[in-house]
Amino acid sequence: MNASLNVSAVSHGVLKDVNLSAGPHALVALTGHSGSGKSTLCHLIAGFERPEQGAVTLDGTPTDEITDWSRIAVVPQRLALLPELTAAENLVMPVLAAGRTVSPDTVATLLERLGVDVLASRPVGQGSVGEQQRVAVARALLLGPSLMVLDEPTAHQDDDNTQRVIEAVLSVLAQGTLVIISTHDPRVLAHATQTLPLGTGL
Ligand SMILES: Nc1ncnc2c1ncn2[C@@H]1O[C@H](COP(=O)(O)OP(=O)(O)OP(=O)(O)O)[C@@H](O)[C@H]1O
């Protein structure tokens, strides 16, 4: 896993001439006030859309051409879980889409680690917002992606669960995942290896 992310001269919506390079084991924090474009940049890096100007590539490939969650896994601000499916089923969806398999034990262990084993066999729509957010974190962690993009992943978490999310992210970071996190949370920022402030006019 030696992913190299390049955001080159990107202008898109509120974003103007944004540049970023990062590789394995980097934890890049996207910071800035509300409306500064953190979610917009998360979407571009995740490959949900292609920038109006400039390029976003992972190992030379535009990220909007990458759909394999073992390469790019995402925790969107709006989570994008299927509420009528169980947490375990939600975790397995991108695995199946990538043509891979994971053992039920691996899924169960990950859900337990994030404190959401209670939803393993219940529809995730029955969980709290914080629980659903941790299911989305587990879904992104499952395949040990090359690049993981998390949009404010501790926004709905109490102290203990913030620590759970941070420890889970640090574990894939240690294995070489490149992590991009939009955040205001000082407990997350403390682990950043790079910070990209947005909306500063720089
Ligand atoms: N699909 C869209 N179409 C038009 N404008 C949009 C769209 N999505 C976001 N915007 C605008 O782009 C700007 C940046 O929004 P974005 O959600 O990226 O900011 P943010 O820094 O993530 O904010 P927050 O911290 O409140 O989540 C905002 O003014 C927003 O209204």
Among 16, 38, 41, say which to mutate for ligand 1: greatest number of ligand atoms within 8 Å of CB: 38
Supply the pLDDT for residue 2.
Answer: 73
Average pLDDT, stretch 40-49? 96
Containing domain of residue 56, as a range?
Answer: 5-197
Residue 169 lies in a domain: yes
Residue 201 has pLDDT above 60, yes or no: no
Question: Per-residue pLDDT for 202 more than 70?
Answer: no
The answer to the question of residue 82 being in a domain is: yes
> Does residue 97 surpass a pLDDT of 50?
yes
Yes or no: say if 72 and 58 are a contact pair by the CB < 8 Å rule. Answer: yes
Q: Is 202 a domain residue?
A: no
- The answer to whether residue 48 sits within a structural domain is yes
β-strands 15-22, 5-12: how paired?
antiparallel
Residue 100 falls within a domain, yes or no?
Answer: yes
In terms of pLDDT, which residue wins out, 100 or 64? 64
pLDDT digits (tens, 9 = 90+) for 111-150: 999 999 998 889 999 999 999 999 999 999 998 899 999 9
Q: Tell me the ipTM for this assembly.
A: 0.91
Q: What is the pLDDT of residues 26-35, one digit of tens each?
A: 999 999 999 9
Question: How much is the pLDDT for 131?
Answer: 95
Average pLDDT, the chain: 93
> Ligand 1 centre from 42 Cα, in Å?
11
Mean pLDDT of 39-45: 97
For residue 26, give the CATH number of its domain: 3.40.50.300
Q: How many domains does the chain have?
A: 1
Task: Kindly report the length of the chain.
Answer: 202
- For 126, residues 6+ apart whose C-beta sits below 8 A from its C-beta are 119
Chain centroid offset of residue 194 CA: 16
Ligand 1 interacting residues, C-beta cut-off 6 A = 13-14, 32, 34-40
Domain-embedded: residue 163: yes
Ligand 1 center to 89 CA (angstroms):
30
pLDDT of residue 100: 86
In a domain, 29, yes or no: yes
Q: How many CB atoms lie within 10 A of CB 26?
A: 21
Give the ligand 1 atom nearest the CA of 77: 27
* Ligand 1: centre distance to CA 38 (Å): 8
How far is ligand 1, taken at its centre, from the CA of residue 154, in Å? 19
